[in-house]
Structure formats: structure tokens, C-alpha cells
């Protein structure tokens, strides 16, 4: 056999082997893609989110050592709950130059117009669309039972959460902490604000706005007594949220069972 023919046969054999290897690689990639899509679909079908609001237009706790408040309560819950994240309404205040001043010279901070509410709604909606990408997985979630590993919790804390219609359709659970006038005023006086409260600001603006927005609340909000200790409030909120998580967990288990055959056919 001539050298040229041998070379052609050799090249042909090499090409056949390369083609076979290529087909094998394609089959492996195709399998991995199908498997990946199946797992992604399984995750999306069983993933649940719980959006919780903690509202109340006042300082909840006046202990100057802990500087406790709704934010502190939310932060403690985050450490106790699996896959939990927080969004604070205070992060959406407009700069002082954009906040209106009334005829008495009071800066109108306790109104919706003092906040970038559209941006806040967008932030919450983006979180709901992809909570897993926010990196909220915690050590607690790793030890949680299997049917809670795909549950993600968002706690939104602020003072005007339930008076903005685009937000109201997002809540799974709404808590509103209340205080009587004297206690609310006392606690307000222990906080230092920037800019500081002007004389008469509480009676002339803060308290009237608190009553106005409280009266506008719908009945399905859960009212909590803000005079209770932080430990009591934390215990109640934790137990109530866990109850909601268990309900979601049962729904996830049912969804996993119902979707097995459909997923296997992909």
C-alpha cells in the first residue's frame, strides 16, 4: 500500500474517532443541560417567598444602650430565621433639599412624598423574582428541615409601609406596632435625628401623621402592643412567622410530589 493511501486511511480513522468523541461530548453536554434545566425547574416550582412588613411610626424601644427599634427587631429575626433578608424604608428617604416644608416651617418627613417609594417597590419586586440570587442563605437554613430550604423570607421594616397601594399587594404578613401618645412622645424625645426635631414637631406633625396613616390601615394588619418588651414582641413575631413557614413548607412538599412525573419527562 502506498504511503499516500496509508496516510489517507490513518487520517480517516482519526477523523472517525474525533467525530465519535465529539458526538459523545455533545450527548454528555445535552444530558447535563437537560439535568440542569430539570433541577432549575424543580427549584422554581417549589420555591416560595414570604414578604413580611413590620411597621409603626415611632421608636419602639428607648433603651439607649441597644438603640433598639424596628430595625433591631428585624435584624434579630433575620438571625433566627432561614434564608432571611431585610429591606429598610429609611434607605429610600429623599435628601433634605427635596423634602417639603409646611407653612409652620416643619419638614414633612412623615409623609409618602418624602420617600422614593417607586424605587422601594422595585427593590422588593426584584427580590421576589430572584431571592436566591440575593445571597441570603444562612447557617440556620442549612439545618432547617428539607421542606423549608426553598422558602425565602423578606422583612421590610419602616414607618409608612401599608399606605402605598403598590406595596399592599406584595405582603404575605403585615404587623403594625402601636403606642399611646405619651409613650410615643417620650420615646421620640430619646432619639437624635438628623436634621433634629424642631420645637413642636412631634405634636404638630409626627403624631397627627401617625394617627392619619394608622386610621387608613386595612383590617388585615396584625396590631402589636409596642409597650411590650422587645423579648415579648420578638417571641410573638418569631412564632407567628414559623407558623406561616410551616404552612408554606407543607405546600412545597405537595408541589414536589405532584411535579415529579412532569419533571422526569423533560
Catalytic residue list: 90
Residue environment code for 149-169, b if the CB has 16+ CB neighbours within 10 A, otherwise e: bbbbbbbbbbbbbbbeeebee
Q: Enumerate residues 6+ apart whose C-beta is below 8 A from 252.
A: 46, 48, 147, 148, 150, 151
Q: Enumerate residues 6+ apart whose C-beta is below 8 A from 140.
A: 79, 80, 81, 82
Cis peptide before 238 (omega within 30 of 0): no
Nearest to 96 by CA among 206, 163, 172, 196: 196
Cell of 158: 419602616
Asked if 138 and 117 touch (Cβ cutoff 8 Å), the reply is no
Cell of 111: 409623609
CA-CA distances (angstroms) from residue 82 to 39, 79, 85, 142?
Answer: 21, 8, 9, 8
Tell me the torsion sign for CA atoms 176, 180, 181, 186. negative
> Taking the chain, what is the end-to-end CA distance rounded to the nearest angstrom?
52
Amino acid at each position: 500500500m502506498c504511503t499516500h493511501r496509508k496516510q489517507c486511511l490513518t487520517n480517516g480513522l482519526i477523523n472517525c474517532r474525533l467525530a465519535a468523541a465529539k458526538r459523545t461530548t455533545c450527548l454528555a453536554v445535552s444530558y447535563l443541560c437537560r439535568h440542569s434545566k430539570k433541577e432549575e425547574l424543580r427549584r422554581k416550582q417549589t420555591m416560595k417567598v414570604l414578604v413580611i412588613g413590620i411597621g409603626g411610626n415611632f421608636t419602639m424601644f428607648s433603651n439607649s444602650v441597644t438603640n433598639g427599634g424596628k430595625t433591631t427587631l428585624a435584624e434579630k429575626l433575620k438571625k433566627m430565621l432561614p434564608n432571611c433578608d431585610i429591606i429598610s424604608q429609611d434607605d429610600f428617604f429623599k435628601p433634605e433639599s427635596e423634602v417639603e416644608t409646611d407653612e409652620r416651617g416643619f419638614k414633612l418627613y412623615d409623609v409618602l412624598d418624602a420617600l422614593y417609594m417607586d424605587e422601594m417597590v422595585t427593590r422588593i419586586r426584584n427580590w421576589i423574582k430572584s431571592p436566591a440570587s440575593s445571597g441570603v442563605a444562612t447557617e440556620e437554613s442549612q439545618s432547617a428541615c428539607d421542606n423549608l430550604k426553598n422558602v425565602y423570607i423578606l422583612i421590610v421594616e419602616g414607618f409608612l409601609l401599608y399606605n402605598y397601594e403598590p406595596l399592599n399587594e406584595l405582603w404575605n404578613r403585615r404587623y403594625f406596632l402601636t403606642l399611646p401618645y405619651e409613650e410615643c412622645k417620650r420615646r421620640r424625645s430619646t432619639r437624635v435625628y438628623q436634621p433634629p426635631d424642631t420645637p413642636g414637631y412631634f405634636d404638630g406633625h409626627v403624631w397627627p401623621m401617625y394617627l392619619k396613616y394608622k386610621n387608613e390601615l386595612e383590617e388585615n394588619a396584625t396590631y402589636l402592643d409596642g409597650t411590650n418588651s422587645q423579648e415579648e414582641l420578638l417571641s410573638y413575631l418569631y412564632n407567628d412567622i414559623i407558623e406561616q413557614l410551616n404552612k408554606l413548607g407543607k405546600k412545597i412538599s405537595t408541589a414536589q410530589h405532584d411535579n415529579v412525573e412532569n419533571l422526569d419527562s423533560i
